[in-house]
């Protein structure tokens, strides 16, 4: 498969890695952008991955109202410096994530935030479903894992498909901005409110 300049550019924007590293990763991944990102991260060549461990104590709290005030979102996103917190691209990212929360109803920031007892309960349900479908044990386990992945993708903000581009997840938006601005960026917590909705545990914090 031909490795075009456009796909190399996309990979560089996602990871901040060097051009030749991107070309090699794409060649090895046979043109798959997602696999190339994984390869760069595995090799420690993704600048975004290196920045992920740095402290992010500045940032922005975004408030967003939707549907004539029937839905509201409060969201905190952190970065490393006040300079980036005032950057228009960073602010646009925070706004986009708030839109995502309003539209897609996530309950947690990331999968690590889902309580263990909830994961166990979901697993039991999926196991029962697979058994009722007459699936053999080895197939049933794969079905359970697949349904758990779908559960995470629906429930966890960072794993949700981005509402404006179904080829991206919310985590991809953050990773691309880390590479672009050169700072660690972390979605810390959010709260979503909807008129008439029962109160639940809030805010959701990473």
> What does each C-alpha distance from 58 to 33, 49, 63, 116, 152 come to in angstroms?
31, 19, 17, 30, 28
Answer whether residue 202 shows pLDDT above 50: no
**Three-class SS of residue 160?**
coil
Rounded to whole angstroms, the Cα distance separating 151 from 117 reads 14
Query: Hey, which of 65-69, 98-102, 126-130 has the most confident mean pLDDT?
Result: 98-102
* Domain architecture of the chain: domains with CATH: 5-51 (1.10.8.10), 58-109+183-205 (3.30.479.20), 115-154 (1.10.286.20)
Rounded to whole angstroms, the Cα distance separating 193 from 163 reads 19
Strand 71-79 to 204-205 pairing: unpaired
pLDDT at site 101: 97
Per residue in 113-168, pLDDT (tens digit) is 999 999 999 989 998 988 888 888 888 888 888 999 999 999 999 999 999 999 89
């Amino acid at each position: 498969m031909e490795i075009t300049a456009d796909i190399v550019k996309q990979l560089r924007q996602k990871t901040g890695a060097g051009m030749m590293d991107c070309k090699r990763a794409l060649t090895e991944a046979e043109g798959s952008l997602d696999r190339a990102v994984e390869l760069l991260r595995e090799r420690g060549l993704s600048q975004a991955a290196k920045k992920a461990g740095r402290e992010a104590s500045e940032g922005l709290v975004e408030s967003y109202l939707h549907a004539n005030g029937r839905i509201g979102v409060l969201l905190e996103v952190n970065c490393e410096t006040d300079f980036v917190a005032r950057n228009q691209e960073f602010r646009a990212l925070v706004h986009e994530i708030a839109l995502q929360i309003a539209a897609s109803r996530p309950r947690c920031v990331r999968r690590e935030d889902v309580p263990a007892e909830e994961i166990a309960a979901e697993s039991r349900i999926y196991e029962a479903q697979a058994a009722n479908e007459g699936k053999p044990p080895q197939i049933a386990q794969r079905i359970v894992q697949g349904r758990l992945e779908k559960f995470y993708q629906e429930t966890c903000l960072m794993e949700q498909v981005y509402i404006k581009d179904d080829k991206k997840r919310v985590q991809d938006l953050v990773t691309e901005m880390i590479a672009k601005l050169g700072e660690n960026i972390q979605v810390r917590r959010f709260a979503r409110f909807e008129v008439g909705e029962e109160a639940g545990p809030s805010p959701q914090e990473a």
